[in-house]
């Protein structure tokens, strides 16, 4: 128990980087960390507000009692989706393995402490994101004190089960990839299957109604009471369909309503047992699993043969490529967008873009989804650029480039060029597919070619500028840089720059579409040039 | 070769740094730089190499200002850090080839040098392995080889003997001598005072960011029994 407390304290000491923040002395670094913390808090509050407004809408539509079921399900799905690939880094760390093995401590408290850390992260995120929605539903639903007490307990208990489950997923993924020669490739493939699957799966759960049901709402003749009633019917039907397909979800949701205390406590107990069982099994085999996860590289006797020289820029680009393809987290997170671009291009051959907007034909405005396709493609290619984390990824190796006779311009050029080279095959493939899947005139086809290209140039350059301004060299896991850094978060703002004009283009008609698209390319081109000048300065 | 004039560098928000440091490294010098932990050795070495900008003073290498023309300086020097944090995603040969590309070492010359140095340090057979599989000593050997690849005029090293086995340490001393015989100079920090005393013709002692003494080894030691005695006395004061 003493060791468990010690290791739990150690794990929680720097939760969300709090300890480093407390003790950092450099005022500039402190300012940067404060900025990052405030930004993340604002993002969390916006998301929490967004979920709360969703809860408000559901209450108005008479589905307030479904909020605990829906939001607790969402919470579990999020924890499972994002936790599965984080579990390995959370549980197994190569760096301190030898140190831990040398300590007179059993592995059980080490593993339990690490699981508690994962749980604490998930629980805190739950509080930030789901608490406002739960509170609102309780107040609007005029629930009694039992509901709120149940709610407080639910927030604590809810993350236990998915946290334990992600640990098993983490082991499974690690086991598949550990002794595989193409480790990064396998990890990427698994991530893509999980990611694309998670996007496709909800389609099967959507209500089976047709857009005809919404005709009354969009006809413009309905009163607000009629609109509310119609929407309420739709929402109720959707939940009924869902609960009919998944009866367990209904019972599970009822646990969080404060109506079934026994069932609720039983669920908490079952979650706790799974958690402890996970800690026990992993704890017992911790060092054995770790040894399998971090095998020593096979040694092959090397003989010096011919060595070829390359230009500085080629050498730097090759270094970028090696860095990129050696890190699974880096690849899986950045390859997702371009792959979605290709999938989207293929899907255009099977469905009409108008189906993305059910009932749009009844809107007072005429929608032209065809005009938005180039922008949507541009957004996919810009989803997460490599450049947004490529400076931070240098980490403790940054001294090498600092001490070598290479100009900052060459370093930046290499990072930009590698990102372009990486995206090039996806871009070319998408454009070829679009030739077969989209019927368009010459000008529209030109936009399909130029808008994604302009978006790529812009987002990649913008990503590098943000990373140059907000580098993060001190990190233990690449996750901290690729997924959680300020640079990657802020660089995603470029998505709005690409997507919002696309939405605007969809509302236009005829030659105005072409003019607006041309204007977008000109503006974004000029912006890219200005950003590029700043990047190489 | 290397002239440091009244150098000052402090880390933002702290009193940690160096102040009023002046010294002169000439061709053929093997200059030892000693001081206790946190005295400012690494700070000075990083300022000389252009890794850290400094607040005041001047650093000239071959008459060229480090802050004004860092690229020209970096072409003439080589830097070995206190910790061999190198690209673990590369193999040893890939790393050496990368460094040779950056310094523009011709293919034939680099092949000859890599073969020679790798053979001396006995790591030839491991050059095809990922650096992540190397021990600390092997990584240190690789950093040392990469530093000697382009025949630097000035070699700046931060604790270069840490992690080296006795044979590798001996080899490094030999290579340092060879470099100075070719007209190069070496400025390095160390805690191994015996090595410094035997190997170096000049020494500087730093304490709390300020140079306490510097100059010819014989003049610094004077009538004291050893460099260690001088150092202990200086630190005690």
CB-CB under 8 Å, A322 with B89: yes
Q: What is the pLDDT of residue A251?
A: 72
**DSSP H/E element including A55:** helix A27-60
- Residue ranges of A 248-307 with Cβ closer than 8 A to chain B: 296-297, 299-304, 306-307
Residue whose C-alpha is closest to residue B139's, from B77, B79, B192, B87: B87
User: Which has more confidence, B140 or A244?
Assistant: B140
Pairing, β B202-207 against β B210-216: antiparallel
Q: Looking at beta carbons, which residues of chain A come within 8 Å of B49?
A: 402-403
CB-CB under 8 Å, B133 with A299: yes
Q: What is the pLDDT of residue A515?
A: 93
Which of A30, A299, A307 is the closest to B126 by Cβ?
A299
d(CA A191, CA A332): 6
Q: How far is B33 from chain A (nearest CA, A)?
A: 20
Domain spans of chain A, in order of start: 16-293, 312-536
Q: What is the pLDDT of residue A350?
A: 79
pLDDT, tens only, A45-98: 888 888 888 888 888 888 777 787 888 888 888 788 777 767 777 788 777 777
B75 touches chain A (CB under 8 A): yes
Question: Taken in order A406, A407, A412, A418, is the CA torsion positive or negative?
Answer: negative
**Could you tell me which chain B residue has the CA closest to the CA of A306?**
B111
CB-CB under 8 Å, A396 with B124: no
What are φ and ψ of residue A318, in 5° steps? -65, -40
**Could you tell me which chain A residue has the CA closest to the CA of B94?**
A319
The residues that bridge with B61 in the sheet, in sequence order, are: B2, B64
**Could you tell me which chain B residue has the CA closest to the CA of A24?**
B13
CB-CB under 8 Å, A396 with B128: no
pLDDT averaged over 10-residue windows placed end to end, chain A, 537 residues: 84 80 79 81 84 85 80 81 74 78 82 91 84 84 80 84 85 70 73 70 55 55 69 77 72 70 83 91 83 68 86 96 90 89 88 64 71 92 94 95 95 97 96 91 93 96 95 86 88 86 84 92 96 94
CB-CB under 8 Å, A407 with B97: no
**B45 pLDDT exceeds 90?**
yes
**Could you tell me which chain B residue has the CA closest to the CA of A301?**
B125
Mutate to test the interface with B, among A33, A331, A400 (most CBs of B within 10 A): A400
Q: How far is A301 from chain B (nearest CA, A)?
A: 4
Residue whose C-alpha is closest to residue B80's, from B211, B186, B196: B186
Q: What is the pLDDT of residue A220?
A: 57
Q: Looking at beta carbons, which residues of chain B come within 8 Å of A27?
A: 12-13
CB-CB under 8 Å, B85 with A397: yes
B10 touches chain A (CB under 8 A): no
pLDDT, tens only, B71-124: 999 999 999 999 999 998 999 999 999 999 999 999 999 999 999 999 999 999
Which of A306, A308, A405 is the closest to B75 by Cβ?
A405
E strands present in B71-221: 77-80, 154-158, 185-189, 202-207, 210-216
Range of the domain at B161: 2-236
B11 touches chain A (CB under 8 A): yes
User: Which has more confidence, B131 or B233?
Assistant: B131
A311 touches chain B (CB under 8 A): yes
Q: Looking at beta carbons, which residues of chain B come within 8 Å of A181?
A: none
> Around B186, how many Cα atoms within 13 Å sit in the side-chain half-sphere?
29
**DSSP H/E element including B59:** strand B56-61
pLDDT band at B63 (very low <50, low <70, confident <90, very high): very high
User: Which has more confidence, A495 or B151?
Assistant: B151
Q: How far is B232 from chain A (nearest CA, A)?
A: 31
Q: How far apart are the first and last CA of chain B?
A: 32
Q: How far is A470 from chain B (nearest CA, A)?
A: 17
**DSSP H/E element including A134:** helix A107-140
Task: Output the average pLDDT for chain B.
Answer: 92
Q: Looking at beta carbons, which residues of chain A come within 8 Å of B114?
A: 304, 307
A31 touches chain B (CB under 8 A): no
Q: How far is A293 from chain B (nearest CA, A)?
A: 14
Mutate to test the interface with A, among B98, B142, B143 (most CBs of A within 10 A): B98
Q: Looking at beta carbons, which residues of chain A come within 8 Å of B132?
A: 297
A34 touches chain B (CB under 8 A): no
DSSP string, A80-124: HHHHTTTHHHHH--STTHHHHHHSS--HHHHHHHHHHHHHHHHHH
Q: What mean pLDDT do residues B140-145 have? A: 96
**B151 pLDDT exceeds 90?**
yes
d(CA B147, CA B105): 12
B142: domain CATH number is: 3.40.50.300
CB-CB under 8 Å, A308 with B85: no
What are φ and ψ of residue A289, in 5° steps? -65, -45
Under 8 Å between Cβ of A159 and A270: no
Q: Encoding tokens for residue B68? A: 């004004």
Q: What is the pLDDT of residue A224?
A: 67
Which of A301, A319, A405 is the closest to B125 by Cβ?
A301
Q: Looking at beta carbons, which residues of chain A come within 8 Å of B120?
A: none
Q: Looking at beta carbons, which residues of chain A come within 8 Å of B104?
A: 309, 312
- Residue ranges of B 96-155 with Cβ closer than 8 A to chain A: 97-107, 110-111, 114-115, 118, 124-130, 132-133
B93 touches chain A (CB under 8 A): yes
Token pair 């913390």 is at which residue? A37
B233 touches chain A (CB under 8 A): no
B89 touches chain A (CB under 8 A): yes
**Could you tell me which chain A residue has the CA closest to the CA of B52?**
A402
Under 8 Å between Cβ of A267 and A253: no
As a three-state string, the secondary structure of A250-315 is: HHHHHHCCCCCHHHHHHHHHHHHHHHHHHHHHHHHCHHHHHHHHCCCCCCCCCCCCCCCCCCHHHH
Q: What is the pLDDT of residue A59?
A: 84
ipTM field: 0.87
Q: Looking at beta carbons, which residues of chain B come within 8 Å of A304?
A: 93, 111, 114-115, 118, 124, 127
Under 8 Å between Cβ of B31 and B187: yes
Under 8 Å between Cβ of A274 and A266: no
Question: Taken in order A349, A355, A356, A361, is the CA torsion positive or negative?
Answer: positive
Q: Looking at beta carbons, which residues of chain B come within 8 Å of A31?
A: none
Under 8 Å between Cβ of B214 and B208: no
């Amino acid at each position: 128990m003493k060791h468990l407390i010690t290791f739990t304290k150690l794990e929680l000491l720097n939760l969300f980087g709090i300890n480093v923040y407390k003790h950092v002395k450099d005022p500039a670094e402190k300012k940067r960390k404060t900025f990052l913390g405030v930004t993340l808090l604002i993002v969390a509050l916006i998301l929490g507000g967004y979920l709360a407004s969703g809860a408000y809408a559901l209450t108005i539509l008479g589905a307030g009692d479904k909020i605990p079921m829906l939001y607790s399900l969402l919470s579990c799905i999020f924890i499972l989706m994002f936790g599965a690939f984080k579990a390995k880094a959370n549980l197994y760390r190569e760096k301190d393995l030898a140190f831990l093995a040398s300590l007179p401590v059993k592995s059980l408290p080490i593993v339990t402490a690490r699981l508690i850390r994962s749980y604490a992260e998930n629980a805190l995120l739950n509080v930030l994101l789901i608490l406002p929605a739960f509170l609102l539903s309780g107040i609007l639903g005029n629930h009694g004190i039992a509901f709120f007490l149940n709610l407080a307990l639910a927030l604590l208990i809810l993350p236990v089960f998915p946290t334990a489950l992600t640990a098993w997923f983490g082991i499974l993924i690690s086991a598949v990839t550990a002794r595989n020669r193409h480790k990064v490739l396998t990890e990427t493939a698994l991530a893509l299957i999980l990611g694309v699957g998670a996007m496709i799966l909800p389609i099967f759960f959507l209500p089976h109604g047709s857009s005809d049901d919404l005709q009354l709402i969009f006809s413009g003749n309905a009163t607000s009471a009629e609109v509310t009633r119609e929407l309420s019917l739709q929402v109720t039907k959707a939940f009924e369909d869902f609960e009919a397909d998944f009866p367990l979800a209904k019972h599970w949701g009822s646990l969080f309503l404060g109506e079934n205390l026994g069932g609720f406590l039983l669920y908490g107990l079952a979650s706790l047992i799974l958690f402890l069982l996970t800690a026990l099994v992993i704890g017992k085999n911790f060092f054995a699993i770790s040894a399998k996860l971090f095998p020593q590289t096979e040694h092959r006797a090397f003989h010096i043969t011919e060595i070829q020289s390359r230009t500085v820029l080629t050498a730097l680009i090759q270094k970028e490529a090696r860095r990129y393809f050696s890190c699974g987290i880096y690849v899986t997170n950045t390859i997702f967008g371009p792959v979605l671009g290709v999938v989207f291009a293929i899907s255009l051959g099977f469905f009409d873009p108008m189906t993305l907007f059910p009932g749009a034909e009844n809107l007072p405005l005429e929608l032209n989804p065809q005009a938005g396709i180039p922008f949507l493609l541009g957004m996919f290619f810009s989803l997460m650029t490599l450049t947004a984390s490529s400076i931070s990824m240098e980490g403790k190796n940054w001294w090498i480039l600092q001490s070598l006779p290479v100009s900052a311009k060459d370093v930046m050029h290499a990072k930009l060029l590698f990102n372009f080279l990486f995206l090039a095959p996806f871009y070319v493939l998408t454009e070829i597919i679009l030739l077969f899947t989209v019927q368009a005139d010459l000008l529209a086809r030109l936009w399909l070619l130029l808008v994604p290209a302009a978006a790529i140039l812009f987002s990649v350059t913008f990503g590098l500028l943000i990373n140059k301004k907000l580098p993060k060299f001190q990190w233990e896991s690449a996750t901290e840089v690729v997924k959680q850094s300020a640079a990657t978060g802020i660089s995603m703002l470029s998505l709005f720059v690409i997507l919002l004009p696309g939405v605007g283009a969809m509302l236009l008609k005829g030659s105005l579409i072409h003019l607006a698209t041309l204007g977008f390319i000109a503006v974004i081109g000029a912006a890219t040039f200005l950003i590029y000048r700043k990047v190489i300065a | 070769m290397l002239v440091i004039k009244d150098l000052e560098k402090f880390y933002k928000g702290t009193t940690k740094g160096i102040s009023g440091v002046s010294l002169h490294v000439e061709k053929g010098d093997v200059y030892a730089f000693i001081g206790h932990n946190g005295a400012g050795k690494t700070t000075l070495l990083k300022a000389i190499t252009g890794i850290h900008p400094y607040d005041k003073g001047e650093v000239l290498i071959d008459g060229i200002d480090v802050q004004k023309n860092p690229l020209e300086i970096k072409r003439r020097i080589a830097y070995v850090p206190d910790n061999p944090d190198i690209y673990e995603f590369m193999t040893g040969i890939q790393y050496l080839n990368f460094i040779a590309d950056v310094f523009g070492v011709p293919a034939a010359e680099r092949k000859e040098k890599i073969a020679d140095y790798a053979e001396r340090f006995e790591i030839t057979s491991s050059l095809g392995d990922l650096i992540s599989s190397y021990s600390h000593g092997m990584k240190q050997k690789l950093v040392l080889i990469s530093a000697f690849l382009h025949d630097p005029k000035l070699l700046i090293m931060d604790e270069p003997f840490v992690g080296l086995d006795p044979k590798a340490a001996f080899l490094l001393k030999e290579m340092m001598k060879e470099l100075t015989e070719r007209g190069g100079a070496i400025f390095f920090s160390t805690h191994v005072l015996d090595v410094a005393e035997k190997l170096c013709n000049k020494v500087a002692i730093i304490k709390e960011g300020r140079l306490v003494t510097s100059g010819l080894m014989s003049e610094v030691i004077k009538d004291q029994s050893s460099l260690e005695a001088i150092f202990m006395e200086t630190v005690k004061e």
